[in-house]
Structure 1
């Protein structure tokens, strides 16, 4: 009973921290949380205007093709970049209140999940607008997104530890994300790349989630066995690794802060 009571309290704290993060994010915005809906739509509109003619023949329903990849990428980057600085940002609260440090990371990853839910509202509307019919493979989308969140949380653990001891990690990660984005095939077809680059992209963890979700929504197809293995390994193993590293450095993190 004590364990259940403690986790109930922790869940409450996570919800409160998430609400705080959302309020802080949209504090000076007139539209507030609506930007979670407008951002993917505006990005889709801009990229579609730029690349639609270029990829019209090779990609059917290009706006949805891009929007699907963008939502996965946005969720991952929002989760990891915000969670990376969660411990230094909450230093006063972390040192005064006896809560598990994980809560601060979980709250920021959870915030990215809430942001995704709002974005999916816009996504559902766009599917209707572009006449994308329902396919039973869409029912597996929550599985892909769950594994994405496992991978994001695992990366968040690793980045949070690194950021405490090496502050420059946040700047290096920003540069890495730029390269990572271009290797994730957000706005171009992988088939137009050289064989070597196709291999590089297909080894990219984020592309496994993007391609699986695109296949489910646009083509009604399932991932291959290799892609399933990639998603499971990247998601579960990264989470276990991140959690293990975080536990190992827990005391040192408190001492360093």
Structure 2
């Protein structure tokens, strides 16, 4: 919190630079953050909507809700992983805490997520979902998922400095994790052993929480509450501890 208050201007400037660089030479620019989830939803509905029509109620929203949380986690952890190496020159020239660069990438992912939500909420009501008080829990789910992704990102950012191949290994791991997150298929249709694995997947827990409160008007169970809080707090504390202990060695190996 101290870094955020003291270096908020720097974080905003770094975020603006990241967004401009991401959408450089693009005519639509930041609008792609709105269009991308919609296009993915359209494709997945055409491909899998008929297949799971009888087992997944409101498939487009089921998929889109899961995709938004997967995209948030993937963007945060992936972008934070390379931030120290990507900003090597700035780290050498400017006396700014390394944590500021981490937070700027996290903030960038949140900004992109907020733009994606501009398409999500109108679709909820377009598909007949009525507003309810449970939807007020949605920001809590977003916040906890952000802390989980940030905690993973802290660890990856240190590993990437010492072991660049972690980028490629993590890419393979993300692919596996995505298919174990039940983004586009019902958990009930896989074997019981696989169901246990999926229910232990932190990213799936955040997806499930959001689907219950946003799509199906169901209050999450105490077990699910425990899981999303446990993974967020545990991952963040572990990641920040690893980052603080090894950040002084970064400049020697970057």
The TM-score bracket by the shorter chain reads over 0.9
The answer to whether the 8 A contact 2:66-2:183 is kept is yes
Residue of 217, 230, 250 corresponding to 2:227: 230
Name the CA distance, whole Å, in 1 between partners of 2:4 and 2:36.
34
Matched, 1:174 2:171: yes
Name the CA distance, whole Å, in 2 between partners of 1:98 and 1:117.
31
Please give the TM-score of this superposition, normalised by the length of structure 2. 0.98
**Structure 2 portions without partners, runs of 5+:** none
Tell me which residue corresponds to 2:66. 69
Tell me which residue corresponds to 1:144. 141
Name the CA distance, whole Å, in 2 between partners of 1:9 and 1:53.
52
Residue 212 of structure 1, CA deviation: 0.3
Name the CA distance, whole Å, in 2 between partners of 1:51 and 1:119.
22
Residue of 200, 203, 216 corresponding to 2:197: 200
Tell me which residue corresponds to 2:124. 127
Residue 35 of structure 1, CA deviation: 0.1
Tell me which residue corresponds to 1:56. 53
Residue 129 of structure 1, CA deviation: 1.7
Residue 166 of structure 1, CA deviation: 0.2
Residue 7 of structure 1, CA deviation: 4.9
Please give the TM-score of this superposition, normalised by the length of structure 1. 0.96
Name the CA distance, whole Å, in 2 between partners of 1:178 and 1:229.
26
